[in-house]
C-alpha cells in the first residue's frame, strides 16, 4: 500500500494562524507567566512555534498520554505514559494539543490537571475534528476546524512518520 499526502493547510497558513493565537494569548495573559503544558509528542511542533511568538514570560512542561496505537482510529482507551515534571498549583496553565478528535485524550488530561489546583486552566489545540467527538471538551482556542480526515505533519504522525512535514496534509492509502 502506498501512502499519498496532499496539502490541507500550507506552512504559511499554519504559521499565520499560530501568530494570531500567540498574539491573543500574550494579550490575555498580560502581566502574567504562561505555563504551557504540551501533550507529547504531537503538540511539540505547534508548541514551539507558539511559544516563540508569545511576548509574556513562558515556562514549559510536558506530559505523555496515548489513545492511539499505529492505527488511524482511536482505541477508546487512554494510557498515562509520562507525568509533568513540576507542580502546576497556582500557575496559569495552558494545555497545548495537536488535534482534538474523539476528545478522550484531552478530557482525561483536563480532569487530572484541574484536580491539581492551577490558578487557571485553558485548553488550546491546533486542529479540531468536531465530527468525531465522543466526549465534550471546552476549548479556549482552536487553530483550524478540519473535516473528518486523517491528517499528518506539523507534529502529527501516521505510525510515527510524517511529524516533520512543515504543513498539515491529508494521508490517503492507495493499493
Ligand atoms: P482523541 O483522544 O480521540 O481526541 O485523540 C487525540 C489524539 O489522537 C491526538 O492527540 C493525536 O495524537 C491522535 N489523532 C487524532 N486524529 C489524528 C489525525 O488525524 N492524525 C494524527 N493523529 C491523530
Ligand atoms: Mg497527541
| CA 91 to ligand 1 center in whole angstroms | 27
Q: pLDDT for 79-115, tens place per residue?
A: 889 999 999 999 999 999 999 999 999 999 999 999 9
Confidence (pTM): 0.94
Q: What is the pLDDT of residues 149-165, one digit of tens each?
A: 999 999 999 999 999 99
List the residue whose alpha carbon is closest to atom 20 of ligand 1: 151
Mean pLDDT of the chain: 94
Per-residue pLDDT, 175: 83
Distance 2 CA to ligand 1 centre (A): 21
Lowest mean pLDDT among 22-36, 60-74, 88-102, 123-137: 60-74
- Residue with the smallest CA separation from ligand 1 atom 22 is 156
User: What is the pLDDT confidence band of residue 72, given thresholds at 50, 70 and 90?
Assistant: low
- Closest residue by Cα to atom 12, ligand 1, is 42
What value does the mean pLDDT take over residues 13-25? 98
pLDDT at 58: 98
Atom of ligand 1 at shortest range from CA of 68: 8
Q: In what order do the strands lie in the sheet with 2-9?
A: 2-9, 168-174, 151-152
Is 101 considered catalytic here?
A: yes
* pLDDT given at position 88: 98
Rounded Cα gap, residues 17 and 57, in angstroms? 20
* Cα of 101 from ligand 1 centre, angstroms: 5
What is the reported pLDDT for 66? 79
Give the tens place of pLDDT for each residue, 108-122.
999 999 999 999 999
Amino acid at each position: 500500500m502506498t501512502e499519498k499526502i496532499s496539502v490541507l493547510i500550507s506552512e504559511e497558513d499554519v504559521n499565520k494562524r499560530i501568530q494570531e493565537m500567540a498574539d491573543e494569548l500574550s494579550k490575555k495573559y498580560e502581566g502574567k507567566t504562561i505555563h504551557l503544558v504540551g501533550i507529547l509528542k504531537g503538540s511539540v511542533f505547534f508548541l514551539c512555534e507558539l511559544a516563540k511568538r508569545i511576548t509574556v514570560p513562558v515556562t514549559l512542561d510536558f506530559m505523555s498520554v496515548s489513545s492511539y496505537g499505529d492505527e488511524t482510529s482511536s482505541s477508546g482507551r487512554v494510557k498515562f505514559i509520562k507525568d509533568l515534571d513540576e507542580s502546576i498549583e497556582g500557575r496559569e496553565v495552558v494545555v497545548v494539543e495537536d488535534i482534538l478528535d474523539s476528545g478522550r485524550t484531552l478530557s482525561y488530561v483536563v480532569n487530572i490537571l484541574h484536580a491539581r489546583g492551577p490558578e487557571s486552566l485553558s485548553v488550546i489545540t491546533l486542529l479540531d475534528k468536531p465530527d468525531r467527538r465522543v466526549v465534550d471538551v471546552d476549548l479556549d482556542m482552536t487553530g483550524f476546524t478540519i473535516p473528518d480526515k486523517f491528517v499528518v505533519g506539523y507534529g502529527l504522525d501516521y505510525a510515527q512518520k510524517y511529524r516533520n512535514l512543515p504543513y498539515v496534509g491529508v494521508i490517503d492509502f492507495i493499493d
